[in-house]
Structure 1
Amino acid sequence: MKKKIGLLLAMLAALVMMVGVFGNPTQVQAADNSLAKIQKKGVLVMGTSPDYPPYEFQATVKGKSAVVGMDVKIGEKVAKDLGVKLKIKSMSFDSLLVALQTGKIDMIISGMNPTPARRKNVDFTHTYYKGGYEIVINKTDKGKYKNKDSFSGGTLGAQTGTTQYNAAKKQTKNTKVKGMTSQSDLILALQSHKLDGVAMEKPSAEAYVSNNKQLAAIPSDFSMSSSATSSAIAFRKGSTSLVNKVNKTVDQIKKENLVKKEYLPAAGKYLKTNTVNTSMGHYWKAFLTGIEYTLIITVCSVFFGFIIGVLLALARLAKGNFLKSLLRWIATAYVEFIRGTPMMVQVMFVYFGLGLFVNLPALTSGIIAISLNSGAYVAEYIRGGINSVDIGQTEAARSLGMSNGETMRFVVLPQALKNIWPSLGNEFITLIKDSSIVSIIGVTELIYQSNIVRSDTYRGVAPIVVIMVLYFVLTFTASRILNYFERKMQHA
């Protein structure tokens, strides 16, 4: 599943680039004023994947969860030198390049290696850090594994889209390489023995090992180029003036050795703080925030999805002249297309694809995508409900002098709604669970918050158990409320 997500994101990135090139031919020429644009805007949006300590990770700061780490310090330094404010936007590592190309973020600082393949699509600054790779294993297997060649016949994991993932694919023999979008997921898979080892950069490996006594790190012995083991800041292609300005900051950071003197030690303090209290009760605010956003997405999507569904159902039932036939064809095509494509792709398209033209926030994009998806299914429920109403009801209403619109509004739709209420209830329950999909674009619903807690505490299973219970409470409560109204309708 994770590999499919990476493939879908890669395909979306290619589509976005094609649309950008053909739909906006002035983009490259206008890109050289990138520095002036940022300074005029007054805000520099940094994209990062905060599951990669000590580069970037979640920590509790003054009672609130925040993104911290070495890369965040670098981002703050860059923003300060540019004279603007820094805004951090979290998302999966796979999504960062797409987000940069579609203008959702202004730069990427996420331990990204400036490989030749990436340089074709984005501009990189000078490198600010050079590290290496290690493989994290369960401490009980320390005598079994020595390096990458020891995993023959086993399974090695790595974060999709990273250079270590590509190296594991190319430089191991008889080894199954499994990619996941999150380091937290990889560590969980390792501890549950779904993986035999996880390849990651040396500082990250040391961070996980130092905070989890059940883990150990071994040399990877990957043969890597200098660009594949270094980290740099990525900007949109053609951002020459902005890159040149930020290069001065990067050069100063390297000259004064700020990474080793200040940034890494500061990250280490947060790593130690994270493990002081790892109880799930300590993170109740994070879970409460997740419930809040889950309910917002669900309620809004149900409301707009129902409206869209009614309109589509009526359009599909339209008969008569050419215009009504055209509406019926469009509605049918829409329903079939939406039902025939994954919701995950639809969410990414609304957020990244439409982001080329309209800069929609992640939450808004998620609500729009889920509403559009739900509307297609609700339309079929309503169409079936309308068809289930006896034709005699319509004839009786018309004989009383009601118009077609009045008959549909006061006679047919109320009876259809009563017939399809269980199906609509199931759709509502499904949307509560499907809202988790929007976590891929950084919406802070339950799944997103559970990942934050896992990054904070280095505990893999406990946060998952908590959100399973929370989802059950939400769905069970909703089903009881829906059943109450269903009984009311039956006795009406």
Structure 2
Amino acid sequence: MTIKGKHVLQAVLALCLSLLFFVSFSNVTTNDQTAYAADNSLQKVKEKGTLVVATSPDYPPYEFQTTKNGNSKIVGMDMSVAKKVAKGLGVKLVVKSMSFDSLLVAIETGKADVAIGGINPTAKRRQSVDFTHIYYSGGQSFLVNKAEKLKYSSRAKLKNQKVGAQTGTLQYDLAKQRIPGVTVKGMDKNTDLVLALKTHKVAAVGMETPTAKAYVENDSSLAMIPSGYKLNKNDVGAAIAAPKGSTALINAMNKSVDQIKKQNLTDGYLKTAGTYMKTNTNNTSMFHYWKYFAKGVEYTMIISAISVVFGVLLGTLLALMRFSHNKLVHAIAVAYIEFVRGTPLMVQVMFVYFGIGIIVNLPALLSGIIAVSLNSGAYVAEIIRGGIDSVAKGQTEASQSLGLNRTDTMRYVVMPQALKNIWPALGNEFISLIKESSIVSIIGVTDLIYQLNIVRADTYRGVMPVFIAMILYFIMTFILTRILNHYEGKMNHAK
């Protein structure tokens, strides 16, 4: 190994150890906060006057979105439960949207006070968070294609078949444990699972009975069969999750939950949810949901535009650091670039939002912009470095012979020529950024992919919303390509 290689390796290892120390420190901080929350969890909620609830609004009739008086709002049985609980606490309800597999992480990292979303209080989950009493038990079912209802009339008939279930749910674990020879296909969204079912990628999809029933009532090509599971009553049903040790808050919420069960209020909540669902399916044309797509395009463009600016600035800085004669500066730049390029953008987005969020409570949109900018900066740095290296060495020597110092040589001689060389690659990075920014939907940023999934959940249409999103992405990237090509042409014709 060369000396330069050793310095790079040492820098990368140092960066990794620093991140591990940060995570360990964060965990200690979180544990301390959790222990402290055992005494003041309820007091904290009452003092700020809000109950922040995390949910994934793509699971009708539990939670989904609808348009009322031109405004989009999250509705469903769980939202009615959350309102009842917030009212019982004497505070205002604030809802945060994100993917289902991020709900428990959100309350563990302080992004939300509680989480609700048809969450089953399994023994495994109880190790990480606390739960209220169960407020509704809907049972378990399988969704199947109506034409195959006789073929898959019971759970036993699903032996050695492919069965779909939402990742991280009780349905996923049950299918894996209790269906012999099964291959479980896990996906983040029920809408994706239903599409997989209708295209025969899976034989059945495990769901809560009310959700399966909602799909059957709104899609004549689907049917449902009973699961036949015999389950522990403490694991079955939906409950509200809160941070571990939030005894005071849990006890206060249980007063409302017990009242909901005693008065059987969930029947009314489900009836109201059904009314909203009928409203959604009265007109499932994509034009009817144009505001959803327009909002998605707006956020996608905002994230991409800001991330491009900061990505270029950071990338330029990192590229210049790589050319520095200072070994430490050079090693830091190399370590950063290699680390960012070696980790998925999804992980980086979640780390910024949930990890750094432990210390600084960053909004989802800002977290997404930061993560995408930091990621883009590493790739832009390599593009710029390659462009600088492509400038003939004689150009630098000639400028030095004219008396230009290193800074002026880079500014007036090398960079103008390098920009012309790197423009096509830089343009590709800008275009990729528009598409890659879609990953921010996992933390609840209402970009185009997020809105696409909402429309799919509301309309029970699997393919058309995807097609519309593809067209919109194409339009955005095509326009940007034309603009970039225009300026590339001007550069090529410039004297």
Q: TM-score, normalised by structure 1?
A: 0.94
| Structure 1 residue 292: Cα displacement | 0.6
Q: Specify which of 86, 94, 99 is matched with residue 92 of structure 1.
A: 99
Contact 2:30 2:358 in 1 (8 A): no
Q: How far 1:120 sits from its partner (Å)? A: 1.2
Give me the whole-angstrom Cα distance separating, in 1, the residues matched to 2:264 and 2:26: 39
The CA distance in 2 between the partners of 1:21 and 1:88, in whole Å, is: 25
Report SS of the residue matched to 1:336. Answer: helix
Residue of structure 2 equivalent to 1:388 = 390
**Aligned pair partner of 1:446 in 445, 448, 455:** 448
| Aligned partner (choices 291, 295, 301) of residue 295 of structure 1 | 301
Query: Which position in structure 1 is the counterpart of 2:252?
Result: 245
Contact 2:34–2:243 under 8 Å retained in 1: no
Q: Given residue 466 of structure 2, which amino acid in structure 1 is its aligned partner? A: I
Counterpart code for 1:433: K
Q: Secondary structure at the match of 1:135?
A: strand
Aligned to 1:9: none
Aligned-partner Cα distance in 1 for 2:209–2:27: 38
How big is each residue's C-alpha offset from its partner over 1:355-374, in whole Å with a ceiling of 9 and x where there is no partner?
A: 11111111111111111111
Could you tell me which residue of structure 1 aligns to residue 73 of structure 2? 66
> In structure 2, how many angstroms separate the alpha carbons of the residues matched to 1:313 and 1:16?
26
Say whether 1:257 aligns with 2:259: no
Q: Distance in 2 between matches of 1:76 and 1:401?
A: 73
Q: Which amino acid aligns with 1:119?
A: R
Structure 1 CA distance for aligned equivalents of residues 24 and 227 of structure 2: 37
For residue 160 of structure 1, report the CA deviation from its aligned partner.
1.1
Counterpart-to-counterpart distance in 2, 1:230 and 1:27: 29
In the alignment, is the contact (CA less than 8 A) between 1:17 and 1:101 conserved in 2?
no
Pairing partner for 1:108 from 98, 108, 115: 115
- Separation (CA, whole Å) in 1 of partners of 2:66 and 2:221: 21
Hey, what's the Cα distance between the residues in 1 that align with 2:266 and 2:31?
A: 39
> Which residue of the partner structure matches residue 342 of structure 1?
344
The whole-number CA distance in structure 1 between the counterparts of 2:468 and 2:242 is 38
Alignment of 1:248-287 (within 5 A): 248-260=255-267, 262-287=268-293
Instruction: Provide closer, same or farther for how the CA distance between residues 119 and 91 of structure 1 changes in structure 2, counting only shifts above 3 A.
Output: same
Following the alignment from structure 2 to structure 1, what is the Cα–Cα distance between the partners of residues 388 and 197?
52
2:26 touches 2:355 (CA, 8 Å); kept in 1? no
Deviations 1:350-392 (A, max 9, x none): 1111111111111111111111111111111111111111223
C-alpha distance in 1 between matches for 2:72 and 2:187: 24
Instruction: Tell me whether 1:35 sits opposite 2:42 in the alignment.
Output: yes
The code of the aligned residue for 2:49 comes to G
Q: Which residue of 1 aligns with 2:198?
A: 191
SS of residue paired to 1:360: coil
For residues 407 and 24 of structure 2, the distance between their equivalents in structure 1, rounded to whole angstroms, comes to 45
Correspondence for 1:479 = 481
**In the comparison of the two structures, how many residue pairs are matched?**
474
In 2, Cα distance between equivalents of 1:458 and 1:469: 20
CA distance in 2, matches of 1:346, 1:240: 33
CA distance, structure 1, for counterparts of residue 309 and residue 380 of structure 2: 11
Counterpart residue identity of residue 105, structure 1: A
Question: SS at 2:282's partner residue?
Answer: coil
**Alpha-carbon distance in structure 1 between the residues aligned to 2:196 and 2:123:** 31
Kept in 1, the 8 Å contact 2:145–2:197? The answer is: yes
Structure 1 residue 151 displacement after superposition: 1.2
Q: What letter matches 1:480 in structure 2?
A: R
- AA partner of residue 432 (structure 2): T
What is the rounded CA distance, in whole Å, between the counterparts of 1:232 and 1:17 in structure 2?
A: 29
Could you list the per-position Cα deviations for residues 285-308 of structure 1 after superposition, in whole angstroms to 9, with x for gaps in the alignment? 111111111111111111101011
Tell me the secondary structure at the aligned position of residue 231 of structure 1: coil
Distance in 2 (alpha carbons) for counterparts of 1:290 and 1:423:
27
Aligned to 1:435: 437
Indicate yes or no: 2:152 matched with 1:145: yes
Which of 358, 361, 365 is residue 360 of structure 2 equivalent to? Answer: 358
Range with greater deviation from structure 2 (389-398 or 200-209): 389-398
Deviates more, 1:223-232 or 1:280-289: 223-232
- Give the C-alpha shift of residue 105 in structure 1: 1.1
SS across alignment from 2:134: coil
Q: Which stretch has the larger CA shift, 396-405 or 85-94? A: 396-405
Aligned to 2:134: 127
Q: Does the CA contact (< 8 Å) of 1:46 and 1:105 recur in 2? A: yes
Task: Report deviation, 1:257.
Answer: 1.3
Query: Contact conserved, 1:60 with 1:456, CA < 8 A, in 2?
Result: no
Tell me, what secondary structure is at the counterpart of 1:275? helix
- Quick check: 1:333 aligned with 2:335? yes
1-structure distance, mates of 2:74, 2:332: 45
> Match of 2:235, SS?
helix
Contact 1:16–1:102 at 8 Å: present in 2 too? no
Offset from partner CA, 1:15-40 (integer Å, 9 cap, x none): 99955442455323421201111111
Show the 5 A alignment for 1:451-470: 451-470=453-472
CA distance in 1, matches of 2:72, 2:25: 37
Runs of 4+ in 1 over 4 A off after TM superposition: 14-20
The residue identity in structure 2 corresponding to 1:136 is: L
Partner Cα distance (2:54, 2:253) in 1: 16
Q: Equivalent residue of 2:110, what SS?
A: coil
Give distance in 1, aligned partners of 2:112 and 2:470.
Answer: 32
Letter in 1 for 2:173: N
1:451: how far off?
Answer: 0.4
- Secondary structure at 2:399's aligned position in 1? helix
Q: Which runs of 5+ in 2 are unaligned?
A: 1-19
Q: Distance in 2 between matches of 1:276 and 1:175?
A: 37
CA distance in 2 between counterparts of 1:100 and 1:251 reads 22
RMSD: 1.6
* Post-superposition CA distance 1:131-171 (Å, at most 9, x none): 21110111111111112111123211111111111000000
- Equivalent residue, structure 2, for 1:6: none
Question: 439-448 or 392-401: which moved more?
Answer: 392-401
For 1:89 and 1:29, how far apart are their aligned partners in 2?
24
Aligned counterpart, 2:84: 77
Cα–Cα, structure 1 residues 17 and 386, in superposed 2: closer, same or farther, change >3 Å?
Answer: closer
CA gap of 1:451–1:325, structure 2 versus 1, over 3 A, is same
* 1:50 maps to amino acid: P
SS at match of 1:173: coil
**Structure 2 contact 384–422 (Cα < 8 Å) conserved:** yes
Amino acid at match of 2:80: K
